[in-house]
Each structure stands twice: as structure tokens, then as C-alpha cells.
A and B are shown apart, each in its own frame.
Chain A
């Protein structure tokens, strides 16, 4: 049984960067990794594929072709299996239903969800409807992580996600801080993690190397393996693969959250 994880967090906070670097770092260690991009923007795997955009499951569905495994599962950096679900054009149809259909199809067509050591679901920032938690509800995600910075809004989103996860009865494995350079950031996120009954697993400093690598279509692990930030991702990856401790998260009330983020 592979580790099946999902990384949640406010939109734009760096979930895809974190997911792809963790995937690459785990692949370096010899793990078989699958990454499923569940965001209609379909940008989860791009840095594992040298900047290449792969056709999404939704693209192929729209074309009405018979879909085979080879059409939707692509080998990326060191054999990481990459899948992008994609979605309808913004403002049209139902992206949530798209995720449900795609997940069902993927389960039927491919062993990539089972024959792996780690399956990462890169989910959109906002769980706007039932479809966006399909991987969780269908029992394909067994543990969740939340990514946040130390600012109020990302923490507010993280806190809301914890609320949602506890309602869904989903196991929670920890908080990851993707720094935006806010003052006292590590302490704030550390305190948040403690108060929701969890732990801070990694503090990823803001580093322009990440941006530079991504612009060229690579993960830090691949393009700048000797950088300090690559080391941070590697440590996080090891922590994820080693950690077995999960629990149902608590959430804070808004007043406490505001107080916590007061500098």
C-alpha cells in the first residue's frame, strides 16, 4: 500500500512547487512516486517534465477519444509518474464533476495509484465543492498536509482546511511553512501547528532559486541539487516518508488566529 498524501493550502502558496520537489526528492531516494495534479490549471507536473505540458484527462475527454493509460500517465524526472486531470474552461461546466470522472477513469485504466511508494495529490487551493475532495472521499488519500506562510490570510485558509478535514474525518500529518518572508514567521506557524494539535514539519525559506528553476521547467532537486533549498525539500521528503504519526486536526477560532499573527 503506497503512502497516499494530499497537500492543501491557500491558492498560490506554493503547493505545486512543494509537491513536485518532494516528488523529485523521493524519486532520488529510489521511491516509486506518482503525482496527480487535480487543479484545472494543470501545472503540478510541469517541473518534473522539463517544462513540457502533458495532455490532461479532461482534454482527451473533450476530444471524445478512447483514453488509454499511455495517453494520460507520463514518466517524469527519474520515473515519477505524472498525471494531470485538467478541467473545463473557466466558468463553464463543472470542474468538480471532472475530478470525480477523471479519478474513476484513472483507477480503471492505470496501476499508477497502487504500484507506487508515494502518491501525491496536488489539489486546488480551495475545496469549493464535493468533487474537489473526491480523492479523499473515495479513500485514495490516507493522509493530508497543509502548506501555509505565517501571514494571516494563508493561515486563515489553512485553518479552514483543517476544519474541513476534521469534518471529513481525514488523517492529518502536519503543517509545512512556505515562507513569504513575513516577520517571526517560523514561530507563528509553529505555534499554529501546535494549537491545532499537530507539528511543523518543515520551514521552506523564500529563495529565488525556486522561481528560477521553475521558469526553466525544472524542480530545484533536478536543476539545483546542491542548493540549500534542495536540502530543505530533501529533508521534508524524508520526513514525509518516515512519519507515521497522524491525527484528526483541530481548528482555531478567528480571534485566536488574528492574535497569533499579530507581530
Chain B
């Protein structure tokens, strides 16, 4: 009997639940994470996360580990990690290989009995929605008493919304999405400058996911700087999901860092539309604000997760969207966004930083009005 798929198949590769769990453990301020699986699993992200100060080590399961089990290896690595790195908080994350052969992460914890909390995440990459990796990690953190029930429930709602956003207009919206570099930055910058010169009014929105805001904010910053340079600074209204009081510790810290940078540069933030983990829902606030106050504005620059913004009140504006996903270009164009710019490889550049990072579009904008 054939296996029947619950939902239509998606052909392009999409984010991994294991990686999602790793990032969540970083947000939970885990010192060392042990990936129980083959040495190459999640290599690229494991490496990147070290930039943020979280060590990622692996039990390096090999062919014989798959056959004979890897519990001794996991116990050994756990003991080594405790001895060598003296962590205050440890994570153990499953992989496809270790989960298929039925490894029980808890068995190693039972055998070693560490004095510090261990977040055990029984996850593989076979979930349709990578947010499942976040949920499993948070469930385990809740069980370990690291987060409270209220934060857990809040996160669960956000993750559900994030999954819906991706299904509606994101990476899970079509069975295949062609990657694209988007529109030429030079052309897009030119158009923004032209609109500003014509005295048009624009809404400048940062709706970014967590640390990616370190670079997306640079584009919003550049828009303000260019407007001021052209003497039309007051034609721009700024909104950002930079609430410093929401989210896991790192998320709050990131919001604070970016706010301080913007403040230091004299940027006035007119509206805070949510926390850095609220990108799936902050668009609703934007929608209401526009209906109330800015419905007659001419254009909008939306950075981060532009496809999470409802189109209701922006559809008549000229829309400039900046994403970091090459597969996000086609869905944004389909939604009616006029200009879509991709900041390629943005995410890796926003790890291990605590200040705004220069973006290509931001640099282009600044360069083009340098002599104005």
C-alpha cells in the first residue's frame, strides 16, 4: 500500500528542525550542545553558532555506531564536555540517525548525572515544519524549569503563526520555488531616492526575525539617513519590532543593542510593533497603524519578513521588500510587492555581533546620495 502524504510534497530543501533546535538552545543561553549523530550533521550552522558563543560538539556516530548504538559515545562526550568546558547549561540534540535507531538521550543523562541542567531535545530533520524543532526544545526547557509556562505558551502561538506565514506566502507556499537574486540593488536604491526627491512619504518598517535584525535594521537606517540628507527626513515614519521586553534573553538583548545603535545615530523610532520574535504577528499592528494614521502614504520599505505583513492597507503603496531568502522573491512578487531585494547570506553575518551590520542595499543607498 502506498504511503499517502498528508499535504502536497514540496520539492525544494527547507530549514531543518535540528538546526531550529540548535538556535533555540542558543537563545536559551546554553553553553554547550552535544549533537548525537554523524560528524557532518548540521555542520554549517553548528560552526556559525560558535560565533554566538555556544559550543557545538558531536558524538560522531559512524557506521558502527548506527549498527551497535552510540550510547557509550554519548556518555563519553557528555563527561568530556563537563570536564573540559565546565558548562552551566548543556543541551543534547538528536539527529535523524540517532533517532531512527532508537537512542534515548535521557539514558546518558541518567548514567552521567550532571550537576547542571541538561536540555534533551529528541529531534530529527524529518518534520515538515522546522518550527517543530523549536517546540521540542522549548518543551524540554520547560520540563527542566528553564522557561516558565507563560513564555512557553507565548512561543508556541508565535511558532504556529510563523508556520502559517511560511505556508501562506513563504518557503512552504508552493511545491517548488525557484531561487532568485531579486531586483538590482542599484536600481531599487535609485527608485527610493527618486521618490524621496519627489517629496513622497514613506513608511520604513523593520519586521525581522531575531538576530537578522542586526543587518536588516541597517537598510531602514540608510533610508532615514538618505531622506535626511535630501532634506525630507520628516516624510519618513519608522516602525520596528524592537520591543526590548519580549522574548528569550538573547532576543531581548538583540533588540536593546539595535535600539541603542539607532538612538546613538539620532534615529527616532515612531512605533514599536512587537518583539524580535514576533515577526509573524507584528504585521497586524502595522496594518492597524497604517489604517489609523498612514493610509495616504506613497511607499513602504519593509525589511526582514515582509511576507508576514497583511497586504490590506499597503497594497496601493509602492512596496520595497528586503528579504534574505532567494526563494522568497517569487512569493513576494506574487503578493504584489513591486521591488524585492535579496541580502544574500545575511544570517551568517549577524551571528556573533552586537551592533548593526552594514547591508549591501544600505551601503548602496548611502553611496548614491554621498555627493547630494
A contact set with B: CB distance below 8 Å: 62-66, 89, 94, 96-97, 100, 129-131, 133-134, 137-138
Chain B residues whose C-beta falls within 8 Å of the C-beta of A130 in the assembled complex: 69, 101-103
Residue among B4, B102, B104 facing the most chain A CB atoms (10 A cut-off)? B102
Chain A residues whose C-beta falls within 8 Å of the C-beta of B103 in the assembled complex: 130
Docked Cα-Cα span, A137 to B103, in Å, equals 9
Q: How far is the CB of A187 from chain B (nearest CB, A)?
A: 38
Docked Cα-Cα span, A118 to B209, in Å, equals 49
Q: Given A130-B69, A137-B107, are A97 and B102 neighbors across the interface (CB < 8 Å)?
A: yes
Contact A131 B102 (CB under 8 A): yes
Say what secondary structure dominates the interface of chain B.
loop
CB-nearest residue of chain B to A99: B102
Q: How far is the CB of B169 from chain A (nearest CB, A)?
A: 25
In the complex, whether B3 has a CB less than 8 A from a CB of chain A is yes
Contact A63 B4 (CB under 8 A): yes
Contact A100 B102 (CB under 8 A): yes
Contact B4 A96 (CB under 8 A): no
Chain B residues whose C-beta falls within 8 Å of the C-beta of A133 in the assembled complex: 102
In the complex, whether B100 has a CB less than 8 A from a CB of chain A is yes
In the complex, whether B1 has a CB less than 8 A from a CB of chain A is yes
Residue among A94, A97, A133 facing the most chain B CB atoms (10 A cut-off)? A97
Contact B102 A62 (CB under 8 A): no
Residue-wise interface mask of B (37-73) relative to A, using a CB-CB cutoff of 8 A (1 in contact, 0 not): 0000000000000000000000000000000010000
Pick from B4, B69, B104: contact of A62, CB under 8 Å = B4
Q: Given A130-B69, A137-B107, are A62 and B1 neighbors across the interface (CB < 8 Å)?
A: yes
Chain A residues whose C-beta falls within 8 Å of the C-beta of B107 in the assembled complex: 137
Contact B102 A64 (CB under 8 A): no
Contact B4 A137 (CB under 8 A): no
Contact B104 A138 (CB under 8 A): yes
**Could you tell me which residues of chain B, from 102 to 118, have a CB within 8 Å of some CB in chain A?**
102-104, 107
Contact B101 A129 (CB under 8 A): yes
In the complex, whether B84 has a CB less than 8 A from a CB of chain A is no
Contact A137 B104 (CB under 8 A): yes
Docked Cα-Cα span, A118 to B190, in Å, equals 74
Say which size band chain B's interface belongs to: 10 to 19
Contact A96 B101 (CB under 8 A): yes
Chain B residues whose C-beta falls within 8 Å of the C-beta of A97 in the assembled complex: 99-100, 102
24 contacts between A and B (CB under 8 A): A62-B1, A62-B3, A62-B4, A63-B4, A64-B5, A64-B6, A65-B6, A89-B1, A94-B100, A96-B101, A96-B102, A97-B99, A100-B102, A129-B101, A130-B69, A130-B101, A130-B102, A131-B101, A131-B102, A133-B102, A134-B102, A137-B102, A137-B104, A137-B107
The count of A-to-B residue pairs whose CB atoms sit within 8 angstroms is: 34
Contact B100 A64 (CB under 8 A): no
Say what secondary structure dominates the interface of chain A.
helix
CB-nearest residue of chain B to A138: B104
CB-nearest residue of chain A to B3: A62
CB-nearest residue of chain A to B67: A129
Contact A64 B3 (CB under 8 A): yes
CB-nearest residue of chain A to B101: A130
Chain B residues whose C-beta falls within 8 Å of the C-beta of A131 in the assembled complex: 101-102
The 8 closest A-B CB pairs, nearest first, are A130-B102, A64-B4, A64-B6, A131-B102, A137-B104, A130-B101, A97-B100, A62-B3
CB-nearest residue of chain B to A104: B122
Docked Cα-Cα span, A62 to B5, in Å, equals 8
Chain A residues whose C-beta falls within 8 Å of the C-beta of B3 in the assembled complex: 62, 64
**Could you tell me which residues of chain B, from 1 to 39, have a CB within 8 Å of some CB in chain A?**
1, 3-6
Residue-wise interface mask of B (263-303) relative to A, using a CB-CB cutoff of 8 A (1 in contact, 0 not): 00000000000000000000000000000000000000000
Chain A residues whose C-beta falls within 8 Å of the C-beta of B99 in the assembled complex: 97, 100
A sample of 17 more A-B contacts (CB under 8 A), given A64-B3, A64-B5, A65-B6, is: A62-B3, A62-B4, A63-B4, A66-B6, A96-B100, A96-B102, A100-B102, A129-B102, A130-B69, A130-B101, A130-B102, A130-B103, A133-B102, A134-B102, A137-B102, A137-B104, A138-B104
Q: How far is the CB of B64 from chain A (nearest CB, A)?
A: 14
Chain B residues whose C-beta falls within 8 Å of the C-beta of A64 in the assembled complex: 3-6
Chain B residues whose C-beta falls within 8 Å of the C-beta of A66 in the assembled complex: 6
Chain A residues whose C-beta falls within 8 Å of the C-beta of B4 in the assembled complex: 62-64
Chain A residues whose C-beta falls within 8 Å of the C-beta of B6 in the assembled complex: 64-66
CB-nearest residue of chain A to B70: A130
CB-nearest residue of chain A to B111: A169
CB-nearest residue of chain A to B5: A64
CB-nearest residue of chain B to A59: B1
Docked Cα-Cα span, A137 to B98, in Å, equals 14
Chain B residues whose C-beta falls within 8 Å of the C-beta of A137 in the assembled complex: 102, 104, 107
Docked Cα-Cα span, A64 to B4, in Å, equals 5
Q: How far is the CB of A62 from chain B (nearest CB, A)?
A: 5
Q: How far is the CB of A117 from chain B (nearest CB, A)?
A: 26
Chain B residues whose C-beta falls within 8 Å of the C-beta of A65 in the assembled complex: 6
Docked Cα-Cα span, A165 to B103, in Å, equals 16
Docked Cα-Cα span, A138 to B106, in Å, equals 9
Q: How far is the CB of A163 from chain B (nearest CB, A)?
A: 15
Q: How far is the CB of A171 from chain B (nearest CB, A)?
A: 15
CB-nearest residue of chain B to A92: B3
Docked Cα-Cα span, A66 to B102, in Å, equals 24
Chain B residues whose C-beta falls within 8 Å of the C-beta of A129 in the assembled complex: 101-102
